[in-house]
Structure 1
């Protein structure tokens, strides 16, 4: 099942499975900015990462003396959400814990994802609530994939990634699927980055963030561009499948990160983990902005 919202500029479509954004189409041009999940490269559009971001060490973690199994990025992307509210330009999806989720994630939770269109921008808002007495530990993040190139006559290499603000950022390398926190470096994100597929030969480029950041995919040869704006995520991942020469780039705001290479596996000690005590809530959001004219 799919759900559609729209305004005068954009139409957005979502899958109830995973509450996943699957289309973001300009009414002006008919162009769809969201990657179309071709399984030859990557069979998803914009999955929600919950209750973990990235890979757990040995695909498992420990909590209160027990070991639990969990695959990369958690289970929410494969769960059926319920639509709890919808208007012409907004929709809210909800997922709650169940006997199935509690087998490998022993926590009560309520996750709301609200998508709202305003002008040429889609806001993605996460609301996590802890309805239980014991603490809730989780990570959450977005994984939207954007079509690159954005015009048939252009190539992947005609595009570049623009960072705002223009400043260096701490980059977290990966060792296999794990975060290598001991070998952080300063990345030259004070300049634009020309896209090549070889940028992703070591998997995602991961940056630590502070305050508001804007990441824009654009070309000097075409007016279409896409920005992701986030105010308070501690990390962002930039990724495209390699060596497949994949025609998309993901810009992923994360409130969490993959286990470190020296992780103990103890959930309460996991880098980037979020904790909610009884009755507490967690609210975060990011924006996707479509640029359909040269002035940006």
Structure 2
């Protein structure tokens, strides 16, 4: 790393390493591993450059260019509380109180806002999952990890996890057969919201890969979990799973309506 010694914060699978860049405020460098430099790095760089050229919402990680000493390293906003998946997992397993309804609605709206903005610029995330939602020091949600994104309808180099994938009634894997679309993104967001509210994926009793066919069957036949006991967002999640929304704008509006029902003043705080 050309004389630099930066603290390793995490490793994003086999594709990149997240390094802490000291400063005020501190930032991170997403340094792509050698095997990902030629494919994933150019995609994520192009996505963030398109965001930066527009008035991107604060719910997308801010981009500050490429680090001079790390040619395949993107400088990004530092999300001090890490990714939402790990944050909720730790809450669940340490016996800490679950996030309240107001915070859950705020996160849901911020996620929908970020994806709405991306879609308006011809960008689909293609890997919507709580592991790609990040929390800053004030617990505001920021969507990141755009390395596998579809840009202007291009083929995605990544794709949703199984429980985040839309299947047709005949068993067709929609993202695989027709590509990444607003519908596949909306479905995936529904599963991410379900994890956000419950702290676990749909059908936690099923394991992969051994129960993969059963999971696919339930997705194909729309046998979704009972959501009568959910504290919030049950209707939004159901409508995402049944793709009853035409756009992320509609999803965001539905979340805002539910937020207002919980607290008339809540929207002013979002």
Between structures 1 and 2, the one with greater helix share: 2
User: What TM-score, normalized to structure 1?
Assistant: 0.29
Tell me which of the two structures has the higher relative contact order, counting C-alpha pairs closer than 8 angstroms and 6 or more residues apart.
Answer: 1
Between structures 1 and 2, the one with greater strand share: 1
User: What TM-score, normalized to structure 2?
Assistant: 0.31
